[in-house]
Amino acid sequence: MKVLVLHGPNLNLFGTREKSIYGSATLADINSELEKIAQELSVEITCLQSNSESVLIDEIHRAGAEKVDGLLINPAAYGHTSIALRDAILGVSLPCVEVHASNIYAREEFRHKTYLSDIAIGVITGFGANSYFLGLRALVKSLTDRKKTSA
């Protein structure tokens, strides 16, 4: 099973950005732990962070063409603004789990809605770096269950 992990804009600043909201784990720390979990689950993951919406969209298109099984995505601010990101995921029919390190519902009103939440398998928000780890486990479990029921 293959999973693409996408980190959106400004997430390269994990560990230094607003530690009271995002914690002290760096993006390298998060990716390292995701790799460990992926090995435990016998899943191949590819992690990518970009501040560019077009790069994220290109990666989603590539994942669809390469028949990647699922997407774990922290769209960051693009979740609240990008219909294009939503359309890319829908366009390649890629099952996804949306994650956010912060609790988007405890923040500014404009962060309460995302353009991905209604097309995602699930949304995990507010658990810091653990949102990613919970999200990967949930995504793999959902994909495994789907394969069992379609077999």
Mean confidence (pLDDT) of the chain: 94
Catalytic residue check, 112: no
Does 112 fall in a domain? yes
Residue type, 103: N
Q: Would you call 118 helix, strand, or coil by DSSP?
A: coil
Tell me what pLDDT residue 105 has: 77
Tell me what pLDDT residue 2 has: 98
Selecting among 22, 78, 115, 132, the annotated active-site residue is 22
- What total number of domains does the chain contain? 1
Selecting among 7, 100, 115, 132, the annotated active-site residue is 100
Domain residue limits at 75: 2-145
Tell me what pLDDT residue 107 has: 79
Catalytic residue check, 22: yes
Does 150 fall in a domain? no
The torsion defined by the Cα of 147, 5, 137 and 89, in degrees rounded to 10, comes to -50
pTM across the whole model: 0.94
Over the stretch 2-45, which tens digit does the pLDDT of each residue have?
A: 999 999 999 999 999 877 777 789 999 999 999 999 999 999 99
Say if residues 66 and 96 touch (Cβ distance below 8 Å): no
Rounded to an integer, the average pLDDT of 124-137 is: 96
Tell me what pLDDT residue 83 has: 97
Structure tokens given for 60 = 């989603």
Q: What is the CATH number of the domain that holds 63?
A: 3.40.50.9100
Does 151 fall in a domain? no
Structure tokens given for 21 = 């909201």
Rounded to an integer, the average pLDDT of 87-116 is: 89
Does 138 fall in a domain? yes
Q: Is 52 left (phi over 0), alpha (psi -120 to 50) or beta?
A: beta
